[in-house]
Every structure is written in structure tokens, then in C-alpha cells.
Homo-oligomer: A and B are copies of this chain.
Amino acid sequence: MSVPQTITFITLGSRDVPVLRAFYAGWGWRELPGGEADFAQYDMGGVRLALYSLELLRAEASPDCLPPEPGRWSGITLAVNVGSREAVDAAYDAAVQASARIIARPVDREWGGYSGYLADPEGNRWEIAWLPGFTPLSPDSA
């Protein structure tokens, strides 16, 4: 027996779920039904993204240690791969227009691709990336 090699949910502990929910709505993301005041979820092309009260998530997932101090980075990044260099620029610009904080504008990367970084209002890091030969999961992202 081993541990199934799959990721089905990514949950971001949130200090202010209504603010994050409004932010991602501004990116054009459609929430799944069943949301609550302190919980929202999204189908991200198979894997789901959830926003959940940081304190409630901590009670379940980390009773033994504290979350990062506000203003510290989590140490984790999430990426949206798209189908071309131009699609990176377009998605990056759309995110910035919709209130994302600019961390690093798209540049050529030594690993052979092209990507930039953004942050949401709680500092979660998103990379918008094109990796030649890596097929995006969703037709939306082509």
C-alpha cells in the first residue's frame, strides 16, 4: 500500500474570505455552488481550489503550530500554465487590471519558459507561465 499520487484540493487559509472571494471573482473565476461566508471553492480544471477561514483551517490542519505572520510569504507558489508567451502576457495583464499585486513581470526563465508572478490580497503567489511542451489542463488556457 502506498499513498495515492494525486492532489485533489488546494486550500488557502484566508484571513478575510469575502475579500479573497471578490478578488478571484474579479479574475473571472466562477465559484462552485455550496459556498458559505467563510468557504468558497473553484474547479481549477480538475483539481479544486478552496478558500477557508485561516483560523478554522488551522484548528483542523495545524493545531500544533502557528501560521505565518501577516506579511510573510507561505513558501508555496501556485501556477497557471498557458499555451504561449503571448497568452502569459495577456493573462498577466488581465490579472493586474483585476487588482493583482505585481511581484515580477514576465521574463524568460533559465528553465526554458516565460513567466511572471503576482500576489492576491493576502500574499498568495501565482505564477503565470508558459513552459514549451507542457500542455495546459484546460482549453480556456490555450
Interface residues of A (CB under 8 A from B): 1-13, 27-30, 42-47, 49, 54, 57-58, 60-69, 71-82, 90-91, 93-95, 98, 103-104, 117, 123-125, 127-129, 134, 136-138, 140-141
A61 to B105, CA, bound (A): 11
Shortest distance between the CB of A131 and any CB in chain B (Å):
9
Question: Contacts A3-B128, A4-B91, A7-B44 given; 7 further ones with Cβ under 8 A?
Answer: A2-B28, A6-B45, A8-B129, A12-B75, A44-B47, A58-B75, A61-B104
**Given A44-B7, A74-B74, A137-B6: A61 and B12 interface contact (C-beta under 8 Å):** no
* Cross-chain contact of A6 among B13, B134, B140 (Cβ < 8 A): B140
